[in-house]
Amino acid sequence: VQLQASGGGLVQAGGSLRLSCAASGRTFSGYAVGWFRQVPGKEREFVAGFSRTGGYTYYADSVKGRFAISRDNAKNTVYLQMNSLRPEDTAVYYCAADRGLITSSIGRAESYANWGQGTLVTVSS
């Protein structure tokens, strides 16, 4: 599956952005999907994810209550709605997908075989 992430940009603290991850080549059906972020010099960090069935969602503690992951099966797209953004949310955001992922590995970047190209989110104070 090929992934295309989009929707990043510059926003003031407290603002909102919605990121999109569109799949081509295959649908997301049967894939666990995750959003990760990375800043220079740091490891890629888990943000949010869907289980393979799509029935369960998972969030990093740092974004719980502010971010929401959702999916539109008709558009074969997964979204990350980001509200109440903070300067520390500034990062390149990546979406990833994998068919063989077990639930306990959803938060581990090394478990995903398919990655989008990343979209930059900058939150100004």
Neighbouring C-beta atoms of residue 106, cutoff 10 Å: 23
- The span from the CA of 125 to the CA of 118, in Å, is 23
What is the per-residue pLDDT for 48?
98
Cβ distance 111 to 98 under 8 Å?
Answer: yes
Task: Single out the residue of 64, 43, 52 nearest to residue 106, CA to CA.
Answer: 52
Query: pLDDT tens-digit profile of 89-103?
Result: 999 999 999 998 888
What is the pLDDT, as a whole number, of residue 53?
Answer: 85
Please name the amino acid found at residue 20: S
User: Is residue 49 predicted with pLDDT exceeding 90?
Assistant: yes
Instruction: Using the CB atoms, write b or e for 33-55: b if 16+ within 10 Å.
Output: bbbbbeeeeeebbbbbbbbbebe
Percentage, residues of the chain above pLDDT 70:
100
Indicate if the pLDDT at residue 114 is higher than 90: yes
Q: What is the pLDDT of residue 91?
A: 98
